Chains A and B, each alone.
Chain A
Amino acid sequence: MTLYLFYILSFVAILSGLMVVFSKSPVYSVLYLIVTFFAIAAHYVLLNAQFLAAVHIIVYAGAIMVLFLYVIMMLNLNKEVEPHKPIAVKFAAVIAGGILLITLVGAMRSTQSLSKAENVNSQIGLIENLGTVLFRDFLLPFEISSVLFLAAMVGAVMIAKKDKN
C-alpha cells in the first residue's frame, strides 16, 4: 500500500516538476510547482513526518507561491510580451545547463549507496519529538538561524522603504 502510494506520488511530483519547466505560461508553471509541493508534502506524511508536511504546505504552497503568483499576475507576463532571447544566450544556457547535469550525474555516481540505518525512531517526525530535539540538542543553531531570518526581514524592509528625499 505504502509502496504504491510512493510510486504514485513520485510520478505526480516528477510529472508536475517537468510541467513547471515545459509550460509556456508562467502562471501555469507556478500552479504546477504548487502541485509538486503537495506531492512532496505527501511524501513527508508517508515518512510519518506530519509536522514537516504541514509546515511545507503552509510556508511553500501557502505563502511563497502566493507571492510568486502575485508578482506574475501583477506583471501580467504573457506569451506575447515575453522577451525573446538572442540565439547566443540560448546556446550559452544549454551549455551551462548541460555542464550542471554532467556534474550532478558524476556526483551521484561517486556516492556510495547508503546502508539502512538501524534503530531509526519512526516517531522522530512527530511534533513532540521534533520540538524536544530542536530546543534541547540544537538550541543554539536554531536560535542563530532565527536571528538570520530576522536580519533578512529587516533588510527587505530597508530596501522596500521609500526614500524620504
Chain B
Amino acid sequence: MESSFIIGKFILAACVFGLSLFVAMYSTYFERKIAAFLQDRLGPNRAGPFGILQPLADGVKMFMKEEITPIVSNKWLFIFGPSLAMLTALMTGAVIPWAPTYVNGDTYFPLQVADINIGVLYLFGVVSIGVYGIMIGGWASNNKYSLMGALRASSQMISYELAMGLSIIALVMMTGTLSVREIASQQIGWHWNVLYQPLACLIFIICAFAETNRAPFDLPECETELVGGYHTEYSSMKLGFYLFAEYINMFISSAVISTLFFGGYNFPLIYNYVTDPFWVSVVGFAVMMSKTLFFIFLFMWVRWTLPRFRYDQLMHLGWKVLIPLSIINIVLTGIGMWLTDKI
C-alpha cells in the first residue's frame, strides 16, 4: 500500500468528518426553516440574508453560555456522556460509500473510508454502543428526570435495534453480502433495493427514527413529562454536543437509508451521459447527497407533522408489530428466492 493511498484515505476521513459536521450544522437551520414553513411562519431571518448565518450565531451562543456542572453529579461521567454521544455519531460515516470508486487507468481510489466486508455489522455495532452516551450522561447527572430519560432511551434503542436488524436480514439474504460498497454497487440503474424489499425499507426507516430519538419517538427528551429528558442538567456546549450528535445521527441514518435501499450513488441513465472518471465520481457524490438530503427533509417533515407516541404505544409498535412483520418479511423473501431459483 503506497503512502499516497494512505494520505488520500486520511484526507477522505477528514472530509467525511467535516461534511458530517457541516450538514449537521445546517440541518439545525433547515429544521427551523421547515418547521416555520409547515406552521406558516418565517423562521430565523435575522443573521445574514434569509438567516443563513443562524447556525454560526447558535454555535457562538452555545460556547459563550455559562457551563454548569451540578455539584451532585459524577463529574467525569458527566463530561464523558456527551463526548461518547458525539464519538459514536461520527464513527458510522466510515463505511458509507459516498461516490463510485474513482478509476482512471491505473489510479484507483475508493471514495469510502473503510471497505470492510462486515460493513453492515459495523453499522449495527456502532448503533448499539451509541446508547451509552445517553445512558451515562443521564445517570451521571444525578437527577431523576435525566435518569428516566436515559432509561427510556436505552430500552427504546434496544427494542428497535432488534426490528432494524431483522429487517436488514431480508436485504442481506437478497444481496448475499455484508459489504456496504457491494450493496451499493449492486443497485446500479433502477435495481434499487426498495423495489424488491419495500417492507424491509419501511421497517428500517421507522427504526431509524426511533434510533435517532427523533419525533414521533422522542420520548427520552419528552419535555412535557421529563423537563428535558437525559440532558436536563446539561448546559453550554455539552448540551450542544448532545443536540449536535442527534443531527449527525440523522444525517448518517439518511445516508445509510439511501445507500442500503435507494441505490446510494446510482441513478438510472446517468452514466450514459457522464463518462469522464472525475465527473462520474462528482455526479455520484451529488446523487448520493441529494438522496441523503431528501431523507433529512423526511425526518423533519415527520417531526413537524406527527405527535409524539405514548410510551406503551412505542413498545407495542416495536415488539408486537415491527418484529413480527420483519420476521414475516424474512420468510417471504426466502419463499420468493426459492421460487425464483436464487437459492
Contacts and interface: CB of A to CB of B under 8 A. Distances in A.
A69 B135 contact: yes
Interface string A26-55: 010001001000000000000000110011
Contact of A57 (B129, B135, B136, B161): B129
Interface in B146-163: 147, 150-151, 154-155, 158, 161
B129 A55 contact: no
A66 B147 contact: no
A70 B125 contact: no
B285 interface: no
A63 B178 contact: no
Counting chain A residues whose Cβ lies within 8 A of the other chain, the interface size class is 20 to 34
A41 to B, nearest CB: 9
A153 to B, nearest CB: 12
B151 A61 contact: no
A55 B121 CA distance: 7
Nearest to A73: B139
A62 B129 contact: yes
A50 B178 CA distance: 12
Contacts of A57: 125, 128-129
Interface residues of B, number: 24
A55 B118 CA distance: 10
A54 B118 contact: yes
Contacts of B139: 27, 69, 73
B5 to A, nearest CB: 17
B117 interface: yes
B121 A66 contact: no
DSSP class of B's interface residues: helix, strand, loop or mixed?
helix
Interface string B130-174: 011001100100000001001100110010010000000000000
A82 to B, nearest CB: 16
Contact of A62 (B128, B147, B150, B151): B128
B121 A54 contact: yes
Contacts of B121: 51, 54-55, 58
A73 B151 contact: yes
A121 B311 CA distance: 50
Contact of B128 (A31, A61, A69, A70): A61
B151 A66 contact: no
Contacts of B154: 66, 69-70
B297 interface: no
Contacts of A66: 128, 131-132, 135, 154, 158
Contacts of B124: 54, 58, 62
19 contacts: A27-B139, A31-B77, A50-B117, A54-B124, A58-B121, A58-B128, A61-B128, A62-B161, A63-B158, A66-B131, A66-B158, A69-B132, A70-B151, A73-B139, A74-B151, A126-B117, A127-B117, A127-B118, A127-B178
Interface of B: 77, 116-118, 121-122, 124-125, 127-129, 131-132, 135-136, 139, 147, 150-151, 154-155, 158, 161, 178
Interface of A: 27, 31, 34, 50-51, 54-55, 57-58, 61-63, 66-67, 69-70, 73-74, 126-127
Given A27-B139, A70-B135, 18 more contacts: A31-B77, A31-B136, A54-B118, A54-B121, A57-B125, A58-B124, A62-B125, A63-B158, A66-B158, A67-B158, A69-B139, A70-B154, A73-B139, A73-B150, A74-B151, A126-B117, A127-B118, A127-B178
